Chains A and B, each alone.
Chain A
Amino acid sequence: MTTNRIEPATGAAADRGPSPQGLAALCGAGVLVFNFPLLMVWDADVSVLGLPLLPVALFALWAALIAALAFASERGGRAPGLRPLPPGDDA
């Protein structure tokens, strides 16, 4: 292999974004609440504001998950305490 010039290694620019561990935890929580047996919690003959509980609960959980994801994503950084900050990474 021949290279006549060596460029400086650019190094991976610090990718700012939500922490992978935080996202994995959120995904796990989502899988849990949308499946057996937690789903049964909402299976009751109850009305909320005149609407059946099950669909209202599903949509509310869904919206909450979106809100949590939006919060984690738009905050711009990673959740504190989830990962030690490498030096100069959190400008």
Chain B
Amino acid sequence: MADSYTIGQERAADGSATLLHLGGELDITARDVLGETLRAALDDGDVVIDLDAVTFIDSEALGALVAAYHIARARPAGFRVVNARGVVARVLKVSGALELFGG
């Protein structure tokens, strides 16, 4: 079966950040690839993570985002999570991740 998730990547038009467009359902099967992608992106500087097309997130995938946030803080590099909707926004809020990521 195909992966339940997608990860797209581009540089911001002004070259200032890597934009990661995540999609589908992010669960434990996405965790390791997501973590590696985030770490590699942070090696190039600031990262913006767009969750607009994400329809589900579990604690494992969220853990990969939180780990990347801490890497970004230590660099320091910019780290923004945007466009969380529905159950994804709810999981981010209830877990405290939304507050951690800065709203």
| Chains A and B belong together in one complex | no
